Structure 1
Amino acid sequence: MATPGPVTPKEPFDLSQPPVIEGFSANVYSNSESFKEKFLRKTRENPMVPIGCLGTAAALGYGLYCFHRGQSRRSQLMMRTRIAAQGFTVAAILVGLAVSAMKPRH
């Protein structure tokens, strides 16, 4: 059995540019989006994720405030609420992924 010789690329890699792969486009959208545009598009596609994130942040903030004030019962309730809000957010992400996977490509 012959051992293969060393493989040398035809052209050296240019690390400042992404690799060119035939039939693959790294940018799905034709124009480049700003952060704000992408955020708004993603929010329109799946509005439950930002709502879950805001609920999680609100429960955490209020829970920490109650903890600081010495209201341990309410603080514990808010930490449990935070866990529920995190679960809702994860479920919303999974549902959004499932819906986008079932959507036909155009």
Structure 2
Amino acid sequence: MAAPGPVTPQDSLDPSQPPVIEGFSSTVYGDSESFKEKFLRKTCENPLVPLGCLGTAAALTYGLYCFHRGQSHRSQLMMRTRILAQGFTVAAVLVGMAVSAMKPRH
């Protein structure tokens, strides 16, 4: 079996530039969007996910508040509510992924 020859790079690599990969685009959209624009676009595409996140945060916050005040029964109820809200959020993410996968690409 012959030994492989020395490897020489075809093009010099510039560390300040990202590598060029044929057929790969770093962004799907032509122009880059800010965090606020991306957040609003994603919220419009699947509004149930932020709603589930807010519900989860609210149940957790109120449950911790009740725990701090010594209301253990209400705190346990809020922790169970938090689990339900988390499940709702996960289900919303999965449904949103399924809907976007079924959309025709143009």
TM-score higher than 0.5 here? yes
Cα 1:6–1:88 shift into 2, 3 Å? farther
- State the match for 1:86 in structure 2: 86
- State the match for 1:51 in structure 2: 51
- Give CA-to-partner distance per residue, 1:18-71, whole Å, 9 cap, x none: 211112111100111111100000000000100000000000000011001110
Which amino acid is 2:97 matched to?
A: L
| Structure 2 residues without counterparts, runs of 5 or longer | none
Instruction: After TM superposition, give the deviation of residue 94 of structure 1 in Å.
Output: 1.1
Structure 1 runs (4+) deviating above 6 angstroms are: none
Instruction: After TM superposition, give the deviation of residue 10 of structure 1 in Å.
Output: 1.4
- State the match for 1:37 in structure 2: 37
Which amino acid is 1:71 matched to?
A: Q
| Structure 1 residues without counterparts, runs of 5 or longer | none
Instruction: After TM superposition, give the deviation of residue 8 of structure 1 in Å.
Output: 2.2
- Identity %, equivalent residues: 83
Q: How far, CA to CA, are the matches of 1:94 and 1:68 in structure 2?
A: 34
Q: Please, what TM-score do these two structures have when normalized by structure 1? A: 0.93
Instruction: After TM superposition, give the deviation of residue 5 of structure 1 in Å.
Output: 1.9
Q: How far, CA to CA, are the matches of 2:14 and 2:94 in structure 1?
A: 37
CA RMSD of superposed structures (Å): 1.1
Which amino acid is 1:49 matched to?
A: V
Aligned length: 106
- State the match for 2:20 in structure 1: 20
